[in-house]
Chain A
Amino acid sequence: MNENIIKIEHIAKVYTVGIEKVYALRDVSLEINRNEYVSIMGPSGSGKSTLMNILGCLDTPTSGLYLFEGENVSDMNDNQLAEIRNRKIGFVFQTFNLLPRSTALHNVELPLIYAGVRKAERLERAKIALEKVGLGDRMEHKPNELSGGQRQRVAIARALVTNPSIILADEPTGNLDSKTGNEIMKLFKELHDNGNTIILVTHEQEIAENANRIIKIRDGLIESDTELKKSKSETENVNA
């Protein structure tokens, strides 16, 4: 049941800037199980994005072990990492990262192109994903013809379209006003209720509390890792 998707042990990430070493992550270990909804919280510069990039196979750690669905990611080459990113991970960014001159539909279709899915099926699946995020009527719009919230919905549809094992969202509401942000959070909640596994990075307590588990990090180390016991009705304030 509590099959784990992600397991990292003693992950460190060191950047060398000139002669100076920046320890973005010092020693991080954690496990994420299927259908969890986890928030990663921490002040700016604490290493949240670095951790997300490593979990998302965009970046490789300087040291430590990373198992994704039991497979050792640390040993993988570029092509294998690309394949994991393509099939197993859906990434949602703070700045949306859509192709600016392509339609919503093409943006969502893109991961399927790299997955080698044929055109007809691709369009079908992209449409379904866009409908799922409530943009069934905006498929032919380009990003500059969409509002910030709608752009983020396109990005979420793009993350969903390959049916990934996990969705990683790095400050997905960071560029949105709070009302739109709440709508996006509602969408994540729905995705989670439908069985998706989600990791969400934020520095806002209120946003973080949407999740069932909050991991706080500071200076590249895990400060606390708390399960939130909550039902849909209550909003209990849990402090570590």
Chain B
Amino acid sequence: MRNLLFEIWEGLLISYRALKENKVRAILTTLGIVIGIWAVVTMSTALKGIDLAFQQGVSSLGSDNLYIDKWAWFNNEEPWWKLRNRKNLTYDEYEKYKKLAKLPIAIAPSVFTRKTLEYDGARVESAFITATTSEYLQTTNFTFAAGRFFNELESKGGRNTVALGFELAKQLFPQGADYAIGSIVRIGGKKMKVVGVLDKQGSWVMGDFNPDNQAYIPIEFLFKNFNKRRRKSITINVRAPNSQSVEAVKEEAIGIMRRVRGLAYNEKNDFSINQQSGLLTQINATVSVIQIAGFFITGLSLFVGAIGIMNIMFVSVKERTREIGIRKAIGAKRRSILGQFIAEASLICLFGGFIGLLFAGSSTFLINQWLPASIQIDTVALAFTISILTGIIAGFAPAYTAAKLDPVDALRYE
């Protein structure tokens, strides 16, 4: 064992000397490895970032939630033009459901709309507005940077109160969340009082679901000022007591909704029960696209890099035939020569991997603008492992050729 380590170490020293003598060539050959490692590290940090962002996002919305909706969010039980022919979900139906449902711990109707927000010259065009009841808060895990959600009284009375998402508040009130409380903003031209600013919740992964870019207003206010009660289809936000009960809540919801909507036993559901897991499925699809692309780029550049290194190693073996002859003449065994050239290829790749990591460091810095991304120690280990493996694979054939050389022939080589 000690002897093996000794040989590996000496092999590394020998190849390090050889590399120092051929710096430029070594650097040029590493390009493929650099790109390969760059791609694999960037991809894996990006994926981890997406995952983390998604976890944060889902937890802010609550993972034990169901959303009863006219539309199916993700699944394709029916094509969209059929869904369009479904009847809107009405406020009435929400109220009936709320009365009949026993299992949920919170139920809130919501309607999405887009309105322009203004405050003191600052404007946010067509921001995402969720109009809902005060009970909505209990279907989420929202926490507040300042203030609170609108209360039951304000909700029922359709009072002109609003809770702002973190990013939205930042755009309107650069002075900070505390300053925003009590201020009057214009939403779609109507004056509304800010009662709360949410903590930062999600990330762009959530898309329109991201609470950070939304404003929350009482649904009664919407009906009074913007839309007739029947104009828009309503989403019913339902929170189950825990994740084990989600299925039961879903079954109950289907039963109640079928009854409320007067469906005959042979009619299909004309509504959908949506879940976060649908979002998860979609995110996973995105993640696998990135993964496939990433693996493809990584694989391709590592392959190209390996071919390049193999090529340069063959040239190097050819050029150093005499050196190999000398080493053999003074007692180098086959495995020493084999080790020397494999070590050399691995060192080149390791160097390339290191440069690739540096590049990945800067692209991670860029990704960090959108995602909570950082290069983890296991990613570094992965990068170095891949580099060394590439070196071993690329170096083997040339090293084997070198090891097999006949000493007399090698010494005679000019």
- Please determine whether B3 and A86 come into contact, CB atoms closer than 8 angstroms: no
Contact A78 B411 (CB under 8 A): no
A-contacting 9-mer, from B50-58, B196-204, B320-328: B320-328
Interface status of B270 (Cβ within 8 A of chain A): no
Structural contact, B408 and A58, CB atoms closer than 8 A: yes
User: Which residues of B lie under 8 Å from residue A83 when comparing CB positions?
Assistant: 331, 333
**Is A91 part of the binding interface, using a Cβ–Cβ cutoff of 8 Å?**
yes
A42 interface hit (Cβ, 8 Å)? no
Q: Are A86 and B408 in contact (CB under 8 A)?
A: no
Query: Is A99 positioned at the interface, with any CB of B under 8 Å from its CB?
Result: yes
B21 within 8 A of partner (CB): yes
Cα distance A87–B326 when bound, in Å? 15
Select one of A82, A93, A97, A98 contacting B331, CB under 8 A: A82
Q: Given A59-B408, A116-B3, are A99 and B330 neighbors across the interface (CB < 8 Å)?
A: no
B353 at the interface (CB under 8 A from A): no
Q: Which residues of B contact A97 (CB under 8 A)?
A: 322, 325-326, 329, 411
- Whether B329 contacts A58 by the Cβ 8 Å rule is yes
A76 to chain B minimum Cβ distance, whole angstroms, is 12
Chain B contacts with A in 306-333, Cβ cutoff 8 A = 322-323, 325-333
* In the complex, A63 has a CB within 8 A of chain B: no
Cβ of B330 and Cβ of A116 under 8 Å apart? no
Which residue of chain A has its CB nearest to the CB of B11? A113
**Contact count band on B:** 20 to 34
State whether the Cβ of B98 lies closer than 8 Å to any Cβ in chain A: no
Q: Which of A176-220 contact B (CB under 8 A)?
A: none
A85 pairs with B336, CB closer than 8 A = no
User: In the complex, A165 Cα to B193 Cα: how many Å?
Assistant: 101
B332 / chain A contacts, CB cutoff of 8 Å: 82, 86, 114
**In the complex, A141 Cα to B254 Cα: how many Å?**
89
Contact B336 A93 (CB under 8 A): no
- A14 vs B320: C-alpha distance in the bound complex, in angstroms? 28
Q: Are B326 and A113 in contact (CB under 8 A)?
A: no
Complex-state Cα separation, A170 to B17, whole angstroms? 29
- Interchain nearest-CB distance for B320 vs A (Å): 9
Is B80 in contact with chain A by the CB < 8 A criterion? no
A79-B333 contact given A93-B411, A113-B10, CB 8 Å threshold: yes
B104 interfacial contact with A, CB 8 Å: no
- In the docked arrangement, what's the CA distance between A158 and B329, Å? 11
**Beta-carbon contact of A82 and B17 below 8 Å:** no
Q: Is B6 an interface residue (CB 8 A)?
A: yes
Contact yes or no, B408 A114, CB < 8 A: no
Q: In the complex, what residues of A have CB within 8 A of residue B411's CB?
A: 58, 93, 97
Q: A58-B408, A97-B411, A116-B3 are in contact. Are A82 and B328 (CB under 8 A)?
A: yes
**What are the interface flags for A61-99 relative to B under an 8 Å C-beta threshold, 1 for contact and 0 otherwise?**
000000000000000001100110111000101000111
Q: Cβ of A78: which chain B residues have Cβ within 8 Å of it?
A: 333-334
A78 to B332, CA, bound (A): 10
A108 to chain B, nearest CB (A): 10
Contact of A85 among B21, B323, B330 (CB under 8 A): B330
Is A91 in contact with B329, judged by CB distance below 8 angstroms?
Answer: yes
The answer to the question of A102 belonging to the interface, with a C-beta cut-off of 8 Å to chain B, is yes
Which residues of A sit under 8 angstroms from B10, Cβ to Cβ?
113
Contact B329–A85 (Cβ < 8 Å): yes
Taking the complex as formed, is A6 at the interface, i.e. its CB lies under 8 A from any CB of chain B? no
List chain B residues, Cβ under 8 A from A82.
328, 331-334
Report whether A158 and B323 are in contact in the complex, using a CB–CB cutoff of 8 Å: no
CB distance from A124 to the nearest CB of B (A): 17
Inter-chain contacts of B329 with A (CB < 8 A): 56, 58, 85, 91, 97
The residues of B that contact A114 with a CB separation of less than 8 Å are 327, 330-333, 336
Contact of A86 with B330 at beta-carbon distance under 8 Å, contacts A59-B408, A93-B411 already known = yes
Q: Is the CB of A101 within 8 A of B21?
A: yes
> Which residue on chain A has the smallest CB distance to residue B330?
A111
Check B109 for interface membership: any CB of A closer than 8 A.
Answer: no
CB distance from A172 to the nearest CB of B (A): 14
| B404 and chain A: residue at smallest CB distance | A78
Q: Which residue of B is nearest A114, CB measured?
A: B331
Q: How far is the CB of B263 from chain A (nearest CB, A)?
A: 84
Chain B residue contacts of A58, Cβ below 8 A = 328-329, 407-408, 411
A58-B408, A97-B322, A97-B411 given as contacts; is B331 within 8 A of A86 (CB)? Answer: yes
**Bound CA–CA A83/B336 (angstroms):** 12
Does the CB pair B326–A99 fall under 8 Å?
yes
Q: For the complex, what is the distance from the CA of A181 to the CA of B334, rounded to whole Å?
A: 35
**Is A228 located at the chain interface by the 8 A CB criterion?**
no
Report A-chain residues with C-beta under 8 Å of the C-beta of B333.
78-79, 82-83, 114
Residues of B within 8 A of A116 (CB): 3, 6-7
Residues of B within 8 A of A110 (CB): 327, 330
- Give chain A nearest CB distance to B340 CB in angstroms: 11
Per CB-CB distance, the 5 closest pairs between chain A and chain B, nearest first, are A86-B331, A114-B331, A111-B330, A82-B333, A85-B331
Residue positions of A touching B, CB distance < 8 A: 53, 56, 58-59, 78-79, 82-83, 85-87, 91, 93, 97-99, 101-102, 110-111, 113-116, 158, 162
Q: List 9 A-B contacts (CB under 8 A).
A: A58-B328, A59-B408, A85-B329, A85-B330, A97-B325, A97-B411, A110-B327, A114-B331, A115-B331
